[in-house]
Amino acid sequence: MISSGDYAPPEAQIDWLTGMMRGSAVQEATKTLRDMARLFHDADSLRRMDENTVVYRVQWTEPVAQGTTGGLFWGSTIIEPGRVGDEYFMTHGHFHSRRDRGEYYGTIGGKGLLVLMDESRATRTDAMFPGSLHYITGGLAHRVVNTGDEPLLFGACWPSDAGHDYSSIKAKGFGARVLLRGGGPAVIHA
């Protein structure tokens, strides 16, 4: 029920120029190379890097409890530019635990590739650039790769009962990697 009363600022706000969120309802997580140990294919290059290097940061708000039917969450992700050897910085990537739950991604700044994979491991990529809007069909694992020289910023909206399944990605990865080849990014299928 909506009650009338004094104006109260929202508990979460977003700066649309930077994607950054703030407010009492905003949660935050930072992922470093240490958190992503086995996701990059070049273990030797990874060993030579500082494991405290930040790869990406996520800010999000959960206005209802996880698992609630019909609710929506919002999050912003900022992926730093960089590579481990020839492999560009990226998110872990995941399926939704409930495979029929989709998601929107919208790019705020920077450039990259959205990597999408179905259960049979068929993998494709979509270009991400400022203003690009991506509807991620339920059942597709999704990962974002920063192929540019600047931070890649995107917003995401997903159902509160989607859940996250990281296990198969941790075990087998995606069906393709985004690697530096000939001075630019190339999608290399396994």
Chain positions contacting ligand S6P, by CB under 6 A: 58, 60, 75, 77, 91-94, 103, 142, 156, 158
Closest separation between CB of residue 169 and Zn ion, Å? 11
Q: Which residue has the tokens 């159902």?
A: 159
Choice between 83 and 143, CB closer to Zn ion: 143
Query: Would you count residue 161 as binding Zn ion (CB under 5 A)?
Result: no
- Give which of Zn ion, ligand S6P, none residue 121 binds (C-beta under 5 to 8 Å, depending on kind): none
Closer CB to Zn ion, residue 103 or residue 161?
103
Q: Which residue has the tokens 């029920």?
A: 1
Q: How far is it, in rounded angstroms, from Cα 128 to Cα 187?
A: 14
Query: Least distance to ligand S6P from the beta carbon of 11, Å?
Result: 18
**Of 87 and 103, which has the nearer Cβ to Zn ion?**
103
Q: How far is the CB of 163 from ligand S6P (least distance, A)?
A: 9
| Beta carbons of 114 and 144 less than 8 angstroms apart | yes
Q: Minimum Å distance from CB 143 to Zn ion? A: 10
| Contacts with Zn ion, 90-109, as mask; x by CB under 5 A | -------------x------
Contact 143, 52 (CB under 8 A): no
**Which of 148, 126, 145, 146 is CA-nearest to residue 136?**
126
Give the shortest CB-1-to-Zn ion separation in angstroms.
Answer: 31
CA atoms within 13 A on the CB side of 133: 1
Q: Are 48 and 142 in contact (CB under 8 A)?
A: no
User: Around Cβ 31, how many Cβ atoms within 10 Å?
Assistant: 19
**Which residues form the interface with Zn ion (CB under 5 A)?**
103
